[in-house]
């Protein structure tokens, strides 16, 4: 798994009743990098932009699972985030913690999924 270091974070909140993704498309038209969104279909255009890595969130992934094993993997990932928040870690410390603790969980999760 290749590590990606974040440099800048922007938050764009769009009221869904006001857009079908056009606001996000306009905002991100020249953007290159990673975009994390919820499961709203208005963001599906991101899957077709060459310079964007479109990522979902674990909350939406979790909703798709009925299998207890899959939920256990996701719970382990949530625990890492919860502990980082409780410890008030810096973004760099959170990154390092995720690389050390989450990567092995994700590797096991992928094996289970396959």
Gap between the Cα atoms of 91 and 62, Å rounded: 24
Confidence of residue 96 (pLDDT cuts 50, 70, 90): very high
User: Residue 58 has what pLDDT?
Assistant: 82
Q: 44-80, pLDDT tens digit by residue?
A: 899 999 999 998 888 877 777 777 888 999 999 999 9
Q: Helix 68-86 and helix 103-113: axis angle, to 10°?
A: 170
């Amino acid at each position: 798994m290749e590590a990606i270091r974040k440099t800048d974070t922007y938050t764009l909140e769009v009221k869904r009743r006001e857009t079908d993704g056009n606001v996000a498309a306009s905002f991100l038209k020249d953007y290159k990098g990673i975009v994390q969104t919820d499961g709203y279909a208005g963001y599906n255009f991101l899957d077709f932009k060459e310079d964007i890595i479109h990522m979902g969130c674990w909350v939406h992934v979790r909703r798709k699972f009925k299998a207890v094993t899959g939920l256990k993997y996701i719970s382990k990932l949530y625990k890492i985030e919860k502990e980082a928040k409780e410890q008030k870690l810096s973004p760099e410390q959170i990154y390092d913690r995720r690389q050390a603790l989450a990567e092995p969980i994700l590797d096991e999760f992928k094996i289970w999924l396959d």
